[in-house]
Amino acid sequence: MPVERVGQQETEKARLGALKSGSAVAWRELLACYGPRLLRYATRMVGARATAEEILQDSLVTVYRTIARFDGRCSLKSWLYRAVHNRAIDELRRRKRYVDVGDDPERDYFNAAGHWQHECPGWDGMAAKRLDDKRLLIQVRDQLDRLPHSHREILLMKEVDGLDPADICAALEITPGNFRLRLHRARAALRAAVVRE
């Protein structure tokens, strides 16, 4: 096993011990390390930042209350993502619908008076390319939000949050083979949706 991986495992064991003992410093470090990523994930899952903040808070309270039962079969990061994932799914089921969150291009480019937000650069090749890239990104985000939940969750974890496949498998409680299949299908569905637009 690589030395770096062993060091990470020892660090995680020490962090877990401190969390189980109720160390306020360890909990603050955990929140600083994972809080922003978990909030982004929850926001993309449910579509509203205020709801995502509630989900994250509820998830962290649950984690705090149940940390003593954490047995280490997966990484702490995977366990945190699983807690947020489960709470987000509960919220989506409660609503019985998926939320579509899209960027508003008019708000991004123009101010309230209808003028350009920023000085318009010259229309050389780079400006046009940046505009096309931004439009494509908006389109990808829009189509990502419209994908079925099973596709969206795996793309968010892998492509947006950059989680390792092992962490995703642990968080979603799936096998590595199932992970690869779901990721392939999700990428294909997103590609097809963007091409259709």
pLDDT tens for 171-194 read 888 999 999 999 999 888 888 888
Residue ranges per structural domain of the chain: 11-102+122-196
- Residues β-bridged to residue 116: 110
Q: What value does the mean pLDDT take over residues 61-78?
A: 86
H-state helical runs in 47-75: 49-66
Model confidence pLDDT, tens digit, residues 104-154: 555 555 666 666 666 554 445 555 566 667 777 788 888 888 888 888 889
| pLDDT of 161 | 86
pLDDT in tens, 33-68: 899 999 999 998 888 899 999 999 999 999 899 888
Residue 102: band (very low, low, confident or very high) from pLDDT cuts 50, 70, 90: very low
CATH number of 11-102+122-196: 1.20.140.160
3-state secondary structure at position 98: coil
Residues in the chain: 197
Give the chain's end-to-end CA distance (angstroms, integer).
46
